[in-house]
Amino acid sequence: MQGIKIILAAFCLLAACWLVPFAAIANDDGPNIDPKADTILRQMCDYMAHQKHFIVKAETTHESILDNGEKLMFLNQVTVYLKRPDKIYSYRKGMVRNQEIFYDGKKLTLYSKGLNLWASTPAPSTIDKAMDFAISELGLSAPGGDLFYSDAYKGLMEDVISGAYIGENEVGGIPCYHLAFRGADVDWQIWVQKGDKPLPRKYVIISKWTTGAPEYTMTIKQFDASTPIPDERFNFIPPKGASRIAFALHDKIKSVLKK
């Protein structure tokens, strides 16, 4: 254990020296974004926005801090089918969650495979509004969903106070640009594929003011924008024996649906 402590101390010292040039970009005059980082991020967001339909397969991890301070990491396999402007399907499978989300432009349905329970409610008429609705009104979490908005740049940069171009690195053998951004509440990093297809390949969110600074990571393994997606993919048909339950909706639902 003493040897591990010495190695970690040396690593931390090396990391601190390496990161000094990048930490220096922040100041008190407002957002300070490296132009190269900003350009790469805009290219990625524009590229994603112009993909009218795609299938994503990813691996995600999220950390949970126990009462005794121990940090646990949970793995999930995630599949997303998206068809702009009004259809999305997501399947998340892991130890904690095994659920599907269907959105067909009119209603949003959540199905828990483990419990064989489902809930459905009317939803706004676009993917962007439906995701906002799911988060704010239904209390659903959608980490990584930031990348799928029609204007991902606006959402990603909303809270940013500084940003840096870190360098080049590979993600799963794919050459990428590594960018790092700081926000008031969270810090995040993103690895963007080099070349004429600037796809997000890895996305890390750090909740820095939460005890233990838990992280969420999404690593995109496959991105397919050529395979057609039938509309039936976004329709939910209750499996045999499944029971319907109700979402705990807020009082705001009526005003949201009128927009």
Measured at the alpha carbon of residue 172, what is the angle toward residues 144 and 21, in degrees to the nearest 5?
Answer: 75
Q: Does a cis peptide bond (omega within 30 degrees of 0) precede residue 85?
A: yes
2, 45, 55, 81, 232 from 228: Cα distances, Å: 56, 22, 9, 10, 12
Topology adopted by domain 28-258: outer membrane lipoprotein receptor (LolB), chain A (2.50.20)
Above 50 in pLDDT, residue 25?
Answer: no
At 49, list the tokens.
């926005």
DSSP state of 230: -
Give domain limits for the chain.
28-258
Q: Which residues pair with 75 in a beta bridge?
A: 61
Structure-model confidence comparison of residues 56 and 250, the more confident one: 56
Instruction: Say what the pLDDT of residue 248 is.
Output: 73
Closest CA to 200 of 90, 56, 85, 74: 56
At 172, list the tokens.
């799963």
Instruction: Say what the pLDDT of residue 1 is.
Output: 44
DSSP state of 228: -
SS3 20: helix
Share the mean pLDDT of the chain.
87
Instruction: Say what the pLDDT of residue 4 is.
Output: 35
pLDDT in tens, 92-137: 998 878 999 999 999 999 999 989 999 999 999 999 999 999 999 9
Measured at the alpha carbon of residue 217, what is the angle toward residues 196 and 143, in degrees to the nearest 5?
Answer: 90
Cα 255 to the center of its chain, rounded Å: 27
Q: How confident is the model at residue 213 (pLDDT cuts 50, 70, 90)?
A: confident
pLDDT in tens, 219-248: 999 999 999 999 999 999 999 999 999 997
Query: What share of residues in the chain are helix, strand, coil (percent, to 5)?
Result: 25, 40, 35
% of the chain at pLDDT higher than 90: 72
Sign of the Cα torsion 17, 22, 25, 31 reads negative
Instruction: Say what the pLDDT of residue 37 is.
Output: 98
Q: Average pLDDT of 158-175?
A: 97
Above 80 in pLDDT, residue 26?
Answer: no
Closest CA to 106 of 79, 78, 81, 85: 85
Instruction: Say what the pLDDT of residue 211 is.
Output: 80
Q: How confident is the model at residue 23 (pLDDT cuts 50, 70, 90)?
A: very low
Instruction: Say what the pLDDT of residue 76 is.
Output: 95
